Structure 1
Amino acid sequence: MAVHSDPVRTQSPGTGKAAVRTPGVIAGGGAGSAPRKTGRATGEPGFGARVAPYLLLLPATVVTIGLLGWPLLKTILLSFQNLNKRQFIQHLTEWNGFDNYKEQLTDSEFWTVTGRTVAFTAVNVLLIMLGGTLIGLLLNRLGKWMRLALSVALVLAWAMPVVAATTVYTWLFDQNFGVVNWFLDKLGWHSMAHFNWYSGEYSTFFVIVLLIVWMSIPFVAINMYAALTTIPKELYEAARMDGAGPVKTFTAVVFPSLKPFFLATTFLEIIWVFKAFTQVYLINHGGPDGLTRTLPVHAFLEGIGAQRFGAGSAIAVLTILMLAALMSYYFRIILKQEDEL
């Protein structure tokens, strides 16, 4: 409600005549008065509000650039140098341009390792996504206490340090004292009693794949269960009324609703498996005879192992470029989906 005051008579200091001053509207604006426009009234944030998010992100950005950007820059610079044991001891800097890249791109072993890494990544990601999706669907169907018990087991498997998990798997598949060989022998496969799992390419990869899948499934399963809780129950009821079975419900309800989840999780798993180093190296050091080398292990063995730091850096940079190409494709799909929304 507008509140008005009575006119107040004041005396003009110059003429001595009384002048009448009518106070304006104290509250609520009188007729014909134009409201004063402010930034808050028009809905536009002030300068401080616009700058505040960037100032809050600045410390984390600086730390990230320092921890990741500087090592990446040093790796790129080393890839253009002829840095072997002699140059390293004598502190010599010998630039050789793109010679390290030419050497790797024309080396058949590099392309063999690259193809092996791609196949290794594809098999792991396929098993991880399939197993994680099935366990996530199981979590969604279990009762409260069974779901809690399975979730705790998944979290414990996921939280185990990589080195510790790799050590445990090395013991499990030990030739003479491994539990796996003992169990297979008790089942009747007596030839497996002292089987050396690390003597062949495929048996070694079997152990590595089993380890990586075991450690990665919990992430997919728990996120899958969380995503399933966002699907309205009405969609399940409608599919059930239409006579859809479990497979049809998944393809017609679950997958379309969770397509962004599947896309993001798949690309994350591709990146994590593609750059996996600890599991592959600790199991058998890329052996036997280098048959289980992947690109990260190949870069380490060529750089640190053979003390060809320039060549190892070039392999690392090429690996990063491959991952960047995958990420660019992923971001392209994401932007396309956002434009369609």
Structure 2
Amino acid sequence: MTVHSQGAVTAPQDAPPKSAGGQQTPPTTKGAGTSAPRRGRKPLPAGWLPYLLIGPAVLSLATLLLYPLAKNVILSFQKVDKIEFIQRKAPFNGVENYTQLLGDAHFWTVVLRTFTFTAANVALIMLIGSLVGILLNRLGTWMRLVLSMALVMAWAMPIVASVTVFQWLFDEQFGVMNWVMRTLGFSGYEQHNWFETGLSTLTIVTVLVVWGSVPFVALNMYAGLTTVSGELYEAARMDGANGWQTFWQVVFPNLKPFFTVTTFLEVIWVFKAFTQVYAMNRGGPDRASETLPVFAFVEGQSQGHYALAAAISVLTIVMLVIVMSFYFRLILKQEEEQ
């Protein structure tokens, strides 16, 4: 309130008015009790949201994978060699490409070589990778860090660069391996050609593939071992189990999903390995080290049998699907057991 010079008292302008009983009434707010309608987008139906979220990914896969796959399947039923490619003609010839392949002894030799190559690589990768993973779990902090960094650097090395290093290691004239063999006293390694046969070439490729794939298995194995409770190891030791029995009775049952998934991933990666085999010796000598991906590439790009190469790639996909069907059956069986 304000007191004037004459002694009159006036109430402040901001004070709320008083009611008849002398009590102040709360101020009224403009628009109180009414809520203004909000303007915005209408909510999407709940059932459409998941499809909208995965829509870009599905569209990208359809553009980058499904469309080329469909064109490749169509090409496998056509006759497209160098002449047809120049004339831009693609006449359909039914299943002639497939009958030609299935009746070709060289094709079945390549198939057998591919499965043997895949089996040998996957077995070595899983064995060595598991052992290195167990070693990582046993090492101290600093040694584990050093070994992990070495594994990551080997894993991250580009394939072409690693192939170049291995070509230098096994070079006929300046190779380190010839020098090592001569130093150890072995004769016949003066300018020895390590890529003389298809078997020796694939052996070197196997060493390269295993070297580049072991880090993935080892690091995942170590990550899986960290989830196994130490009480299980203590119980196994109290029961008198040795290291091998502890692995089969404690580690393997707990990491069975890891072994299943990793094994089938390695099967896929090794089965479709192309760069290591082709860059090492172009599938030679005399096409004796070709696997199915390299066989398809050589038939298509070098020989000019484009439709036949498409048929080879389709058969390769069919074989991988058959192999993966066993994987899905194992996954479903494990889910049923849980």
Shorter-chain TM-score bucket reads 0.7 to 0.9
Provide the TM-score with structure 1 as the length reference: 0.85
Matched, 1:212 2:225: no
Mapped to 2, the partners of 1:110 and 1:71 lie a distance apart of 24
Mapped to 1, the partners of 2:59 and 2:273 lie a distance apart of 27
Mapped to 1, the partners of 2:159 and 2:51 lie a distance apart of 35
1:258-298 Cα shifts (integer Å, max 9, x gaps): 01110110001011101111111111111111111111111
Q: Which is further off, 185-194 or 108-117? A: 185-194
Matched, 1:195 2:192: yes
Mapped to 2, the partners of 1:139 and 1:196 lie a distance apart of 37
The number of residue pairs the alignment matches comes to 296
| One-letter amino acid matched to 1:332 | R
Q: Which residue does 1:111 correspond to in 2?
A: 108
Mapped to 2, the partners of 1:51 and 1:335 lie a distance apart of 28
Gaps of 5+ in 1: 1-45
Q: Which residue does 1:313 correspond to in 2?
A: 310
Mapped to 2, the partners of 1:120 and 1:114 lie a distance apart of 10
Cα distance, 1:252–1:62 mapped onto 2, change above 3 Å: same
Mapped to 1, the partners of 2:221 and 2:101 lie a distance apart of 40
Matched, 1:252 2:249: yes
Cα contact 1:280–1:297 (8 A) shared by 2 = yes
Q: Which residue does 2:79 correspond to in 1?
A: 82
| One-letter amino acid matched to 1:245 | N
Gaps of 5+ in 2: 1-42
Larger Rg: 2
Q: Identity, % of aligned pairs?
A: 57
Mapped to 2, the partners of 1:311 and 1:99 lie a distance apart of 9
Alignment of 1:46-61 (within 5 A): 48-61=45-58
Alignment of 1:97-176 (within 5 A): 97-176=94-173
Mapped to 2, the partners of 1:228 and 1:270 lie a distance apart of 22
Cα contact 1:184–1:193 (8 A) shared by 2 = no
Mapped to 1, the partners of 2:52 and 2:164 lie a distance apart of 44
Matched, 1:263 2:275: no
Counterpart among 270, 273, 283 of residue 270 in structure 2: 273
Displacement after TM superposition at 1:238 (Å): 0.5
Q: Which residue does 2:40 correspond to in 1?
A: none
Alignment of 1:35-46 (within 5 A): none
Displacement after TM superposition at 1:50 (Å): 4.7
Superposition misfits of 4+ residues, deviation over 6 angstroms: none
Displacement after TM superposition at 1:65 (Å): 1.6
1:137-164 Cα shifts (integer Å, max 9, x gaps): 0000000010010000000111111111
Displacement after TM superposition at 1:186 (Å): 1.3
Mapped to 1, the partners of 2:130 and 2:233 lie a distance apart of 17
| One-letter amino acid matched to 1:95 | F
Provide the TM-score with structure 2 as the length reference: 0.85
Q: Which residue does 1:239 correspond to in 2?
A: 236
Mapped to 2, the partners of 1:161 and 1:55 lie a distance apart of 36
